[in-house]
Amino acid sequence: MAIEFAKAYKNFQKFEQQKEMSRSSVDSARSSSGLLAPRANRKTEQASGNSELDKIAGYVQQIRKHRMKYRNGE
């Protein structure tokens, strides 16, 4: 069973990587994200931040910020 949790954690890490990749690609294509932009761009913007995994990623980011602060001695 612990293997399942390890897999879940690995999958989450993959999800985070993909999210960062898509974020960077969205940033590069932000100039075409208006009403007249292709539908695919608008969909990705709407879909991000709604799923349960996005919530988890938010919590993990908060904890990581605290970790970084602790490491930097703040």
Partner 1 sequence: MANKQPVLDAPIPGQSLTAEPKSRPWRRPYRFASVDEAVEFYMPMFEDEVFTGLLVEQMENEIPLTTIAEILATSNVMEGNHSIDVAVLVAPVLIEAMQYVADVAGVKPVIGTESELYKNPKDDVELVRRAVKKTSRQSDNLELAPPEEMPKEAVEEEMPMEPRRGLMAPRGSAE
Contact residues for partner 1 (CB under 8 A)?
A: 1-6, 8-10, 12-13, 52-53, 55-56, 59-60, 63-64, 66-67, 70-71
Nearer to partner 1, 3 or 36 (CB): 3
Q: Please, where are the H alpha helices in 29-51?
A: 39-47
Q: Shortest distance, CB of residue 29 to partner 1, whole angstroms?
A: 29
Nearer to partner 1, 32 or 51 (CB): 51
Q: Shortest distance, CB of residue 11 to partner 1, whole angstroms?
A: 9
Give the closest residue to 26 by CA, choosing from 44, 9, 52. Answer: 44
State both tokens at 1.
Answer: 């069973």
Give the closest residue to 22 by CA, choosing from 47, 3, 5. Answer: 47
